[in-house]
Amino acid sequence: MHRSIPACLAAFALIAGLPGATIASPPPPVAGPGALPASARLEYATTATMQWMGLPLTLRGRTVMTWKFDGTHYDAQLRIDRVGFTQHSQGGLQADGTLAPERYAEKRPFHHPDAVMLDWARGQVRFGNAAPHPTPQPGAQDRLSVQFEFARRMERNAHAFRPGDQDPIRLIGTRDIDDWKFTVGPAETVDTGLGPMPTVHLSARRPAGRVEETMDIWLGAKTRWLPVRIRIVDRNGSVIDSLLQTASIR
């Protein structure tokens, strides 16, 4: 991601019924916004590796990601307990059903919370107390909503994601908007706390100074395409790797 984050889809048939999980039968693909679940809570085992006062430091903790959607507006939150990192995304939908973030907040360890506000009707984005800037084109996502937007698109038409395809997307942070390009990888099976899961792997890489910033998302066929694994490397070389342990999706 755009700052140090010591903490934050070839397709399969949708399958319900994981041991230890409550997963409702998915609806058929639709043209509108109905492909998103009404609520979800996913817990991950997380390993974070970073530099602390020049020395390598590894922390292990739990990540909780929640999602609520009333048909027109959503609320998504993520928290990594041992690291003290949080993300909070709120917004609505574009006319075509694409998620439209309206507020994104992020809290990193040893930093004050940062937030960005987006007014799509007025075409303005405001980073903190700074003067407003023009909003990006519709379709841009913040650094949390992007995972749910990919899940929404996978649920509507998973066959559109073919290995080797690339998907450029603008990612909204709390201080800037960056261009990323996700590449669809081959189908993979990921061993999770709920057993082996078929996934589609999306991977994005881009230069960031002397290092390579990366974001890898494994979207699960059995979890309504919500992530079963998330791995992020930031521009400072910090690595966060989160693996699904429990899921409740309705």
Alpha helix (H) ranges present in the chain?
145-157
Residue type, 115: A
Q: Is the distance from CB of 120 to CB of 74 less than 8 angstroms?
A: no
pLDDT at residue number 54: 76
Rounded Cα gap, residues 179 and 170, in angstroms? 5
pLDDT at residue number 82: 80
pLDDT at residue number 112: 79
Q: Which of 225, 242, 250 is nearest to 11 (CA)?
A: 225
Q: Is the distance from CB of 35 to CB of 152 less than 8 angstroms?
A: yes
Integer CA distances (angstroms), 248 to 167, 230, 233, in order = 29, 18, 27
Please, what is the end-to-end C-alpha distance for the chain in angstroms? 29
Backbone angles phi, psi at 156, to 5 degrees: -75, -40
Token pair of 39 as six digits: 């609520």
pLDDT at residue number 210: 75
Integer CA distances (angstroms), 30 to 36, 139, 153, 162, in order = 10, 18, 10, 20
Q: For residue 137, give the 3-state DSSP assignment.
A: coil
State the Cα angle at 105 between 208 and 67, rounded to 5°. Answer: 105
For the chain of 250 residues, list the mean pLDDT of each consecutive stretch of 10.
40 34 42 74 94 83 97 96 90 95 89 90 92 92 97 94 96 91 96 98 87 93 97 87 97
Domain locations along the chain: 22-249
Q: Is the distance from CB of 217 to CB of 201 less than 8 angstroms?
A: yes
Class of the CATH domain delimited by 22-249 = mainly beta
Integer CA distances (angstroms), 148 to 109, 127, 203, 248, in order = 24, 22, 15, 15
Q: Which of 236, 234, 196 is nearest to 215 (CA)?
A: 234
